[in-house]
Structure 1
């Protein structure tokens, strides 16, 4: 369902939220709540991932209910179910990275002895009006030691008419070959060819698309800086979605890779992510956050041989990452943004390039061991081809990669 349909479907209903609703206004405020999780590391506190208007911070209240009624679709009126619901003031933790925007990713924490049995939670700014609240089901009720996935990629947002279908399909197929079993994308909007690719990978089971109609509630910024790009919230709520993904997959995936759709976290000294993390975790048993350096492969520089300039791919919109084998040199005097590969159970809050609060240690992975292949517009556009490094890492996957890309493009209907 796209954002328009989601908006048309009407968000302001009562009782339990429908599964496709990912953003809910907090009554009597300008704030929004997204999803709720039990945090076993904080003694079972309920953490509600939220978006808080900094200028209008007011006391917020948790309304916690145990699931007394078998029918989950009835309105859970807190005042009408004696003994089943309890309310008290919440603690609001705004994340330290807001990039200057008025709305900031926050954790609304519910701490109370009544937590143990709670299955649903709502947040309100009015401690006296408890009827007709929308409740979120509390996820992560149990700690798990074994996980459905080893490696999951969290991609923060698709928005605008993003239609880079070729690069997206190529990236998904590369990830499969290095051991990623799941990719999660928060979708505000995208172009028609990317829409087909999303449907293909969802049906195949590798992709979870989470609807993210943030533009129905706030004016999102299309850039990272408030002074330059204005708007209510940084980059379509990118920080909220990244944090939501950590908790959503905390007990589903052993590791999470937090990066963008045009980036591939690539092991250079190991055959796959499994081998890489086996070694890194052995060397750094207390680390839960692994920072990976970003390296730019300018999409303006092409491999001269034309080996992967396949005629059948010409009709597919987007960048052919196999043609871009020139890597910009690292500049020691310039901050090189990293992305993170994490054990989600050791992270409490994250930003885009680094975590904000974690329980374990942070380790900077040497760039010759693992680095990000980031095919995009050049950052050092003045450099000629002979000033760049040749890096043909992706070509090592040619035999398996080309047929699998073809299959994805054909079966998705893009070709």
Structure 2
């Protein structure tokens, strides 16, 4: 039933997109195709962020969206003050094979007008996560795309990903971590979080890295070698002055939190056909089932109860890092030299505050989502469900939000201790093999 409804919604979305190509755009397309070709030998993108010629905009990655009739969606960063027309250059390489690109052998190129869909959430910053949408009826078999505001510029091409729909997935659960920045060096908490996720069924973690400290670098290297972690370089600070906070009036900069919204959206499309589910949260947050042994059991129950839901919202609950377990039971001497927070020591949880929004993070089927913000989706197929906090909630060890509360006004929550035996040994192994112990 869910698949039939989703197919109907996707069909309507595809028809809507095709209608976006108004008649005057079709005339422009014909004129461009008859008179323009890339002006120089095509160049394939080498980094993860690429300037769009003739503008201050940036393009990140490109994906075929089968839900929109095969439109090419280029995840981009658009300056809201610049609204000049953008153009797509869609190309197929000679043999439609990636290895043919080694010689720059792009041909069969077609120009078409681009449609810019700026996301509705930017937190007031001048640069906003956007989708640049391309559709050229003349070239449905495109393998590469470039976006430009200057039709005579030298072009850099992105490989179009997700060209085939897949019904089976390499991973069941993948965590998308939006950003590491400002020499992030919380190595102990990082390793603990990774090991907890292993125990509850996560097979893959994706991290966008602007900068991290030397100890976290060792941890990243260990988990990459092990195969659980993908690290995506994210040098946004080489292109824009990013903000270190979420609100423009307070934190300034050109873009929210080092491009957090862009990386979350990029991760959704990167793993669209690699993972059945995605968890969208930060490295110091653990989405934890409380009524089920693991994520697979949790989602089996939730999907059976809510078959048309593709977005599950999980409440965030604060464990103050100023309050410690009195027994000192898990204040282990071998971890004392490792920088970072020991999650296992913090077993006191703040109560919910009445009349105050409790932030949430997301557990999604990526094929149900078009655009996301941090705490909720912006565009989606299917339904949305708020998961009760006693079924699943986020363990978030951080500075307290309710500083006035004494320890006896907090709730004792020792959920992580249920994994104590396996968890401590696995953390020790990760720290030793990464060179931290």
TM-score (normalised: structure 1): 0.93
> Which one of 117, 121, 124 corresponds to residue 141 of structure 2?
117
> Is the 2:176–2:264 contact (alpha carbons within 8 Å) kept by the matching residues of 1?
yes
Deviation at 1:161, TM superposition (A): 1.6
Deviation at 1:107, TM superposition (A): 0.0
> Which one of 83, 91, 112 corresponds to residue 88 of structure 1?
112
In the other structure, the counterpart of 2:72 is 46
Matched residues in 2 for 1:376 and 1:322: separation? 13
Deviation at 1:115, TM superposition (A): 4.2
In the other structure, the counterpart of 1:369 is 391
User: Is the aligned partner of 1:33 residue 2:63?
Assistant: no
In the other structure, the counterpart of 2:45 is 17
In the other structure, the counterpart of 1:6 is none
Matched residues in 2 for 1:380 and 1:241: separation? 30
In the other structure, the counterpart of 1:65 is 91
Deviation at 1:109, TM superposition (A): 0.1
Secondary structure class of the residue paired with 2:428: helix
User: Is the aligned partner of 1:350 residue 2:372?
Assistant: yes
Matched residues in 1 for 2:363 and 2:155: separation? 37
Moved more, 65-74 or 209-218: 65-74
Secondary structure class of the residue paired with 1:173: helix
In the other structure, the counterpart of 2:350 is 328
In the other structure, the counterpart of 1:107 is 131
Secondary structure class of the residue paired with 1:116: coil
Unpaired runs of 5+ residues, structure 1, are 1-12
Matched residues in 1 for 2:306 and 2:183: separation? 42
> Is the 1:16–1:76 contact (alpha carbons within 8 Å) kept by the matching residues of 2?
no
In the other structure, the counterpart of 2:330 is 308
> Is the 2:110–2:139 contact (alpha carbons within 8 Å) kept by the matching residues of 1?
no
Secondary structure class of the residue paired with 2:266: helix
Matched residues in 2 for 1:216 and 1:61: separation? 25
> Is the 2:93–2:105 contact (alpha carbons within 8 Å) kept by the matching residues of 1?
no
In the other structure, the counterpart of 2:412 is 390
Which digits, 9 at most, give the CA deviation of each residue in 1:346-368, with x for residues without a partner?
Answer: 00000000110000100000000
In the other structure, the counterpart of 2:203 is 181
Matched residues in 2 for 1:353 and 1:141: separation? 29
> Is the 1:46–1:115 contact (alpha carbons within 8 Å) kept by the matching residues of 2?
no
> Which one of 229, 244, 269 corresponds to residue 247 of structure 1?
269
Secondary structure class of the residue paired with 1:73: helix
Matched residues in 1 for 2:73 and 2:105: separation? 20
> Is the 1:76–1:133 contact (alpha carbons within 8 Å) kept by the matching residues of 2?
no
Matched residues in 1 for 2:135 and 2:158: separation? 16
Deviation at 1:73, TM superposition (A): 3.2
In the other structure, the counterpart of 1:411 is 433
In the other structure, the counterpart of 1:56 is 82
Matched residues in 2 for 1:245 and 1:287: separation? 20
In the other structure, the counterpart of 2:121 is 97
Deviation at 1:399, TM superposition (A): 1.1
Secondary structure class of the residue paired with 1:265: strand
In the other structure, the counterpart of 1:318 is 340
> Is the 1:14–1:75 contact (alpha carbons within 8 Å) kept by the matching residues of 2?
yes
Instruction: Please list, as runs of the form range in 1=range in 2, the aligned pairs for 1:225-304 lying within 5 A after superposition.
Output: 225-304=247-326
Deviation at 1:111, TM superposition (A): 1.7
Matched residues in 2 for 1:285 and 1:176: separation? 26
TM-score (normalised: structure 2): 0.89
Unpaired runs of 5+ residues, structure 2, are 1-40
Deviation at 1:104, TM superposition (A): 0.3
Secondary structure class of the residue paired with 1:407: helix
Deviation at 1:283, TM superposition (A): 0.4
Q: How many residues were matched structurally?
A: 394
Matched residues in 2 for 1:268 and 1:28: separation? 52
Deviation at 1:126, TM superposition (A): 1.5
In the other structure, the counterpart of 1:224 is 246
